[in-house]
Amino acid sequence: MAESSAQNRKKKIDTSSLPQAFEPGKMPPQAVDLEEAVLGALMLEKEAVNDVIDVLSKESFYKEVHQKIYGAILTLFAESKPIDILTVTEQLRTNGELELVGGPYYISQLTNRVASAANIEFHARIISQKHIQRELIRISSETIKDAYDETTDVFDLLDKAESSLFKVAEGNIRKNYDSMTELIQQAIKQVEDLSHKTDGVSGIPTGFHDLDRVTSGFQPSDMVVLAARPGMGKTAFVLSLARNTAVEFNHPVAVFSLEMSSLQLVNRLIASETELSAEKLKKGQLQDHEWQQLHAKIGKLADAPIFIDDTPALSVFELRAKCRRLKAQHDIQMVIIDYLQLMTAGGEKGNREQEISTISRSVKSIAKELNVPIIALSQLSRAVETRGGDKKPQLSDLRESGAIEQDADMVMFIYRPEYYGITTDEAGESVEGMGEIIIAKHRNGALENIHLKFIANLAKFANLETSDEFHFNSGEMPTSDEFGNTTQIRKSRMDDLENDDYSSNESAPF
């Protein structure tokens, strides 16, 4: 008998230790008086429902009877029927729920609590906020409960929590419409602002003159996909782009590197900025004048508003949260993701194509929400390698999902002929040290091929000079220091490296 009592006490202790959805002695977040006011206003003015239909759902209401009443109102709205005390009462009677909500008397009392629907949208948003608070408490308590369960897979738990929070955010963040008057005024102001610019760049400049000429800079809310086979220089290109945007134009840039560490990226930027070879920086074998060159040229890069996050296996939920934080704290103007296929979708796992589709769609929605261009790097399939001819990539080569092509506002490919042993073009001109940016999709502009020079030992792309100083045949490329002096950069054995992006089983140049 004593043993049985001890077991009962143990059971009671175990039960009390489980997390509860709401703490004892505390009421869940709610605004019942506002719920009554909103429901009353909906039955007083027929147009009031239009102000709250995209703010409130049935679940937004705390009291169950209010959920049923609002459900009846939604039914009437969907059937284009008038909404008033009599029609709502009749709809509840049809649903068999009239007595459950307190009968006709309770319905009539709701309209006595409010004089008009003047502040209904404001009241509705407070109700929605209380609902979000309750959902956060529910999700958190479920996560705590599952975390105490030793049989729970921790990564499944992370996915579940992440997915639940993402659904709360997506279900409650809505953008209001803009009137044509407001949009026309914004468009005219934009045209007036552009008329004062001499470079014709309306978006975020890249520092690559020909690319800016075609795109007018990367436009806010655009998703730009940059795709190439390993070794073509995707990371080198976006680092050059980030450097130009941040250093030359002082636009803050966020870089999410899922493959390389932040220190590796910084070392690459240092090599590019100081024009010191990666090999020397890796070994630290610098002569006295090179140390002076390093310290003299590193200043602008050190002050550049570039923010690097090297979190591996980044999920779209984490990306959204980090981007929002960077936008609020540093007003970032462009986001770079290196690269798309290394991200995770979070939530329930499907096949890889579905997951990439979810990631692509989410990246586009983040670009729209923050009103910044997002440059997302992507891998190409091996079909490029098996094709004959010049092996130039095409849209069908985008790896794992056609959704990437569909969601992207612009798709660009990097193509370096000498990677495939091609040294001359169709006209017999040398293409050594040349990179080509192929704009294969451009939702708001022209399709063109942009030629840049690729400086291999600096892992850097630069504007292609038309002067005779650039000797393609010799593989020598002139660069200018801050005093305008021209020096020759010779080809490096890094040209022969198979993978410019340096996967995890390969050694990086530094």
Report domain extents, the chain: 32-171, 202-465
Residue 203 above 50 pLDDT? yes
Q: Where does the pLDDT of residue 488 fall: very low under 50, low under 70, confident under 90, or very high at 90 and above?
A: very low
Please name which of 454, 495, 487 lies closest in space to residue 293, comparing C-alpha atoms.
487
- Tell me, what's the pLDDT at 467? 35
309: which strand partners? 256
pLDDT tens by residue, 226-261 = 888 887 888 888 888 888 888 888 899 999 988 888
pLDDT tens by residue, 328-362 = 888 899 999 987 888 887 655 567 777 888 888 88
E strand segments, 314-409? 334-338, 374-379
CATH fold for the domain made of 32-171 = DNAb Helicase; Chain A (1.10.860)
Mean pLDDT of 448-469: 73
Q: What is the pTM of this model?
A: 0.64
Just give the CATH number of 202-465: 3.40.50.300
Residue 109 above 50 pLDDT? yes
User: At 228, which helix (H) or strand (E)?
Assistant: strand 223-228
pLDDT tens by residue, 20-44 = 555 666 788 888 989 898 898 888 8
Higher local confidence (pLDDT), 464 or 122? 122
Give 270-300 as a DSSP string.
Answer: HHHHHT--HHHHHHT---HHHHHHHHHHHHH
Q: In whole angstroms, give the CA distance from residue 230 to residue 38.
A: 58
Percent of the chain residues past pLDDT 70, beyond the cut: 80
- Tell me, what's the pLDDT at 337? 92
pLDDT tens by residue, 148-162 = 988 888 877 887 887
Decide if 139 contacts 168 (C-beta within 8 A): yes
Residue 388 above 80 pLDDT? no
- Tell me, what's the pLDDT at 178? 64
User: At 6, which helix (H) or strand (E)?
Assistant: helix 2-17
Residue 15 above 70 pLDDT? no
257: which strand partners? 338
pLDDT tens by residue, 53-68 = 878 888 889 999 999 9
Residue 192 above 60 pLDDT? yes
Percent of the chain residues past pLDDT 90, beyond the cut: 7
Q: Where does the pLDDT of residue 381 fall: very low under 50, low under 70, confident under 90, or very high at 90 and above?
A: confident
HSE-CB at 465 with a 13 A cutoff on CA atoms is 13
- Tell me, what's the pLDDT at 451? 85
Q: Where does the pLDDT of residue 174 fall: very low under 50, low under 70, confident under 90, or very high at 90 and above?
A: low
Token couple for 36: 């009554």
Residue 114 above 50 pLDDT? yes
pLDDT tens by residue, 258-294 = 888 888 888 888 887 777 777 777 777 777 787 887 7
CB burial readout 116-147, b (16+ within 10 A) else e:
ebeebeebbeebbebbbebbebebebbbeebe
Q: In whole angstroms, give the CA distance from residue 494 to residue 487.
A: 19
Please name which of 149, 129, 125 lies closest in space to residue 137, comparing C-alpha atoms.
129
Token couple for 175: 């953008």
